Amino acid sequence: MECRDLLYYAPEWLRSSYPATYYFLVRHLSLLWGWCFGWFDHPLGYALVQPVRRAWNLWTARGLVRRLRQDPPAVIVTTHFFPTDVVDACKQAGWLKTPLVVAVTDLHPHRFWISHSAEAYAVAIPRSASVLEARGIRPERIHVQGIPIAGRFRAAFDRSEVERMFGLQPGRRTLLVTSGGTTIGPFDAVAEALLGMERLLPGRVQLLIVCGMDGAAVRRLSAKAAASPMPAKVVGFIETMAEAMSISDLVIAKAGGVTVTEALGRGVPLLLYHVIPGQEQLNAWHAASHGAAIIVPPRGVPDAVRAIYGQAGKLEAMQQAARSLGRPDAAERIAVEIVKPLVEGR
């Protein structure tokens, strides 16, 4: 098995500019991002942009196209719409015969995910399947399996060992504050507000603040945490998010698809303080409508935390709802029930 980021095959300039452009848009032009997301998901908008998009994708991913011509794999599984479109173009051209499995990692399958040549789709929820069917994908090719996450989110961890690893205090409940890989949205303001909650919940909670790749945020918030009576550990990017969630009562985050999926897979409810227009709206609605999350404005996070801990049974009910939505075995199910039969069939 070979796992590759498509940008590995792309020109060097695209490897940095592709994510940087996305982060710039969602940070500073989120309304424009939301409008583009909706317009390109409309049949007319998609019809206008798709020929240009495909030509651009094939040109920038020509390294992948060469790789597929020289050594086609037994099965291709895509987890992003960029490689999905490239592989679809190769299959439609007739020279690539490799089966394609599209694992949609958003709850809403935007038209950019559509590949009519794909042998199978793995989607998160029945609503996702209905959208694909309405867009012409045959129902027998659609499998509701969940969004794949790492197997570590099903693992059992020793709480005291994880608390020591992060430098947290035993006996306090942990609130995990994060914003995905980067600090998009009012992350600092939310973290600072939570640092001021010791007098409201004395001796009860502590914070694990994960700043991702934002080193400046680590420095800013570390200084504020050092001056706060609220126990808090501030870290940057970590590879141990499964461990962090295993000791957390709540995940306080923006509504990113990976964060929401991992939290639900671990059975941890969420407070969602920032929802990017477009792909994150269904993430937030789905979790909140089932009682596994609360959507609050940034300034409302401390009051929401206090209400959860102040209402008997509220936290436990949210945790139960999160466990009911979680699909921590999605990756294994996709591999065994979709990918394996395609490999054996070849």
CB 113 within 8 A of CB 104: yes
State the Cα–Cα distance between residues 15 and 234, nearest whole angstrom. Answer: 28
The structure tokens listed for 47 are 């019809």
Query: Does residue 26 lie in a domain region?
Result: yes
The strand order across the sheet containing 205-210 reads: 232-235, 205-210, 173-178, 248-254, 270-274, 293-295
Q: Which domain holds residue 222?
A: 152-325
Query: Does residue 138 lie in a domain region?
Result: yes
State the Cα–Cα distance between residues 250 and 231, nearest whole angstrom. Answer: 16
Number of domains forming the structure of the chain: 2
Q: Which residues pair with 251 in a beta bridge?
A: 176, 270
What type of residue is 178?
Answer: T
Backbone phi and psi for residue 296, each to the nearest 5 degrees, phi listed first: -135, 150
If asked whether residues 289 and 306 sit together in one domain, one would say yes
If asked whether residues 199 and 320 sit together in one domain, one would say yes
Q: Phi-psi category of 228—alpha, beta or left, where left has phi over 0 and alpha has psi -120 to 50?
A: beta
The residue assigned the tokens 């990976």 is: 258
If asked whether residues 29 and 102 sit together in one domain, one would say yes
Distant-in-sequence, close-in-space partners of 172: CB < 8 Å, separation ≥ 6:
203, 204, 205, 206, 231
If asked whether residues 158 and 145 sit together in one domain, one would say no
Backbone phi and psi for residue 176, each to the nearest 5 degrees, phi listed first: -95, 120
If asked whether residues 101 and 233 sit together in one domain, one would say no
If asked whether residues 174 and 72 sit together in one domain, one would say no
Around Cβ 174, how many Cβ atoms within 10 Å?
Answer: 24
If asked whether residues 73 and 97 sit together in one domain, one would say yes
State the Cα–Cα distance between residues 7 and 343, nearest whole angstrom. Answer: 25
Query: Does residue 31 lie in a domain region?
Result: yes
Start-end of H helices in 202-335: 215-226, 241-246, 257-266, 279-289, 301-310, 314-325, 330-334
We report the CATH number of the domain holding residue 22 as 3.40.50
What is the block-wise mean pLDDT of the chain (346 residues), using blocks of 10 residues? 85 86 86 94 97 96 94 95 96 96 95 96 96 96 95 92 94 91 84 93 94 90 94 94 96 92 96 92 94 95 94 94 96 95 85
State the Cα–Cα distance between residues 337 and 332, nearest whole angstrom. Answer: 8
Around Cβ 288, how many Cβ atoms within 10 Å?
Answer: 18
If asked whether residues 261 and 336 sit together in one domain, one would say no
For 42, the enclosing helix (H) or strand (E) is: none
Query: Does residue 203 lie in a domain region?
Result: yes
Distant-in-sequence, close-in-space partners of 251: CB < 8 Å, separation ≥ 6:
176, 178, 245, 259, 263, 268, 269, 270, 271
CB 308 within 8 A of CB 318: yes
Query: Does residue 1 lie in a domain region?
Result: no
Integer angstrom CA distances of residue 34 from 17, 31, 104, 182, 278: 20, 5, 19, 19, 5
Distant-in-sequence, close-in-space partners of 156: CB < 8 Å, separation ≥ 6:
246
What type of residue is 27?
Answer: R
We report the CATH number of the domain holding residue 219 as 3.40.50.2000
If asked whether residues 177 and 105 sit together in one domain, one would say no
pLDDT at residue number 346: 67
| Start-to-end C-alpha separation, the chain | 16
If asked whether residues 184 and 279 sit together in one domain, one would say yes
CB 34 within 8 A of CB 282: no
If asked whether residues 138 and 252 sit together in one domain, one would say no
Helix or strand or coil: residue 208? strand
Integer angstrom CA distances of residue 319 from 26, 56, 149, 267: 30, 44, 19, 6
If asked whether residues 139 and 161 sit together in one domain, one would say no
